[in-house]
Structure 1
């Protein structure tokens, strides 16, 4: 069996984070993204353990960082209870 990373196989760790987040959410769990630290390094370690070279996640700190943070905020809002901040009558 050959080493996949020797063939240049690379994968973005943030794609792994997104996949796992979606899977856990679909199972009815409520994952929290970002409050426990940067999840890209554990995702990169998972890729390494599977023989895949993680892509450089530094792009998330570049010019698209604000866009990414906006997208993460939108995802978090999907898991915020709809009645948060409302009185018992829904106002």
Structure 2
């Protein structure tokens, strides 16, 4: 018997967005994604419209936020005077 958890397919979300955009261009349309700002939110909405759940690890903004938080923690921990006693 097949394990249902193993039968879940995953997709690179940008591949799906790219396929949709090429199709629209082929139809003579001129799609844009996120006219201003980061395109991640409109891309995620497009994926949800297709029933694809975007994964957070694909969002560079989340990775950037994590890197910044870690840098802030390192700065806080390493720059505080230690107990010299």
TM bucket (normalised to shorter chain) is 0.3 to 0.5
Give the TM-score taking structure 1 as reference length: 0.43
Higher strand share: 1
Give the TM-score taking structure 2 as reference length: 0.45
Higher relative contact order by CA 8 Å / sep ≥ 6: 1 or 2? Answer: 1
Higher helix share: 2
Structure showing greater Rg? 2
